[in-house]
Amino acid sequence: MKLPFFHNPAKASDGREGGASDNPGLPLMGGQIVPGVTDTTRPDETRDESFLTPEPEADARGAPAAQRVPAVTAASGTAGPTKIMARDVSVFYGEKQALYDVSLDIPDKTVTALIGPSGCGKSTFLRTMNRMNDTIQGCRVTGRIEMDGNDINTKAIDPVLLRAQVGMVFQKPNPFPKTIYENVAYGPKIHGLTTNKTELDGVVEASLKRAGLWEEVADRLHSAGTGLSGGQQQRLVIARAIAVNPEVILMDEPCSALDPIATAKIEELIDELRERYCIVIVTHSMAQAARVSQRTAFFHMGRLVETGNTEEIFTNPRERRTLDYITGRFG
């Protein structure tokens, strides 16, 4: 199943609503980040917490607050048309509503960051996009989610096939207790994407290369995937997701279990993957959102408060709550 490519320029009126055509140019590459800037900001991730500590004197939307906002260093601007369109999405866990009428456009070939205090429904929203909520008992999704213009919640869509198209990376690296090779070959095997061993070898190698892991594991493809370091495991899991050739990659706090160096590697990787995939990343680190994402959506108490280009959200948010959150006043 391949959903037809969807392109709807009419929707893209306002960049802040997730427009598709506000940046019609070529995808911006990772190389466009000024190297010096990247280098000086990377060490920041060790100081995320202190960075977010509120300073008592400044409480208005003035210059002092702006100083506390992480500097946006990610390449700016969306690169592709709308890939996923959510309209009035609500999610219920049993009686309890976790998400209220979320409408959001997610552009292709762009990193979209979902931020917000914990429990605000970021993961829940992420799971609506590959219908992983189906696997949770008592979970009910209402509203409309379109991928390339096709509703993904209709009977005609097989969630199993949808998930092959929408890869997902979790908070805790979860390689299967198999070899590195078998981990990456898992998807191609269950979906029958390759016909022989040579092809499979090729897919495994290409995926590992794209995930930036090939150099480190080429000589031990047949040792246990669980034996790798946390950062390597997370890249292995990304390679596993890439191997089925998805169009979208969802990442749920992919770096929160990793050390700063491994985090930097994953962030670099995300920036590279942006060329090919539509990436949605949940992060609790404001600094990370500023480093890797072009678009940011701020969630609070199950509602989407504000969305727009990362630069704008971080320098000139429209909502008071957004400012309070990104300056670390709550969360």
Partner 1 sequence: MIWLFLPVLIALSALAFFGGREIASRRAGASAIKAHSRPSQHGYYALIWVGVPALVVLLAAAIFSGPIEQSVMQAGAPDSIAQLEPFRRDAFFNDARLVSAGQQPHQIWPQALAEQLTQEARRYGDLSRLLSLGCIVGALVAATLGGLFVYTRISPTLRARNRVEGWIGGVLFTCSVVAVLTTLGIVFSLLWDSLRFFQSVPIAEFLFGTQWSPQIAIRADQVGSTGAFGAVPLFAGTFLIMLIAMLVAAPIGLFSAIYLSEYASRTSRAVFKPILEILAGVPTVVYGFFAALTVGPAFREAFNGLGALMVGGPLDGLGQYLMLVQNQMALVAGAVMGIMLIPFVSSLSDDIINAVPQSLRDGSYAMGATKSETVKRVLLPAALPGIAGALLLAMSRAIGETMIVTMAAGLAANLTLNPLDTVTTVTVQIVTLLTGDQEFDSPKTLAAFGLGLTLFLVTLLLNIVAQRIVQKYREQYD
Ligand X SMILES: Nc1ncnc2c1ncn2[C@@H]1O[C@H](COP(=O)(O)OP(=O)(O)O)[C@@H](O)[C@H]1O
Choice from 24, 31, 43, 119 touching ligand X (CB under 6 A): 119
Match 């429904």 to its residue by tokens. Answer: 121
121 makes contact, choosing from Mg ion, ligand X, partner 1, none, with CB < 5 to 8 Å by partner type, with ligand X
Map the chain to HEC letters.
CCCCCCCCHHHCCCHHHCCCCCCCCCCCCHHHCCHHHHHHHHHHHHHHHHHHCCCCCCCCCCHHHHHHCCCCCCCCCCCCCEEEEEEEEEEEECCEEEEEEEEEEEECCCEEEEECCCCCCHHHHHHHCCCHHHHCCCEEEEEEEEECCEECCCCCCCHHHHHHHEEEECCCCCCCCCEHHHHHHHHHHHHCCCCCHHHHHHHHHHHHHHCCCHHHHHHHCCCEHHHCCHHHHHHHHHHHHHCCCCCEEEEECCCCCCCHHHHHHHHHHHHHHCCCCEEEEECCCHHHHHHHCCEEEEEECCEEEEEEEHHHHHHCCCCHHHHHHHCCCCC
CB-wise, 123 or 245, nearer to Mg ion? 123
Interaction of residue 210 with ligand X, rule CB under 6 A: no
Choice from 73, 112, 123, 245 touching Mg ion (CB under 5 A): 123
Tokens found for residue 297: 């959506």
Tokens found for residue 54: 């509120």
CB-wise, 98 or 166, nearer to ligand X? 98
CB-wise, 23 or 124, nearer to Mg ion? 124
Interaction of residue 122 with ligand X, rule CB under 6 A: yes
Region from 14-22, 118-126, 173-181, 268-276 binding Mg ion, contact rule CB under 5 A: 118-126
Tell me the closest approach of the beta carbon of residue 184 to Mg ion, in angstroms.
Answer: 26
Specify the pairing of strand 248-252 against strand 166-169.
parallel
Q: How far is CA 112 from the centre of its chain?
A: 6
Tell me the closest approach of the beta carbon of residue 97 to ligand X, in angstroms.
Answer: 9
Interaction of residue 136 with ligand X, rule CB under 6 A: yes
CB 82 within 8 A of CB 40: no
106 makes contact, choosing from Mg ion, ligand X, partner 1, none, with CB < 5 to 8 Å by partner type, with none
The whole-angstrom separation of Cα 311 and Cα 273 is 20
CB-wise, 46 or 135, nearer to ligand X? 135
Tell me the closest approach of the beta carbon of residue 163 to ligand X, in angstroms.
Answer: 18
CB-wise, 178 or 329, nearer to partner 1? 178
167 makes contact, choosing from Mg ion, partner 1, ligand X, none, with CB < 5 to 8 Å by partner type, with partner 1
Interaction of residue 124 with Mg ion, rule CB under 5 A: no
Interaction of residue 118 with ligand X, rule CB under 6 A: yes
CB-wise, 280 or 304, nearer to partner 1? 280
Residues that bind partner 1 in the complex, under the rule CB under 8 A: 130, 132, 135, 137-138, 160-165, 167-168, 170, 172, 174-178, 186-187, 190-191, 237, 240-241, 244
Q: Mask 71-100, x = binds ligand X (CB under 6 A)?
A: ----------------------x----x--
CB-wise, 120 or 269, nearer to ligand X? 120
Residues near ligand X (CB under 6 A): 93, 98, 116, 118-124, 136
Residues near Mg ion (CB under 5 A): 123
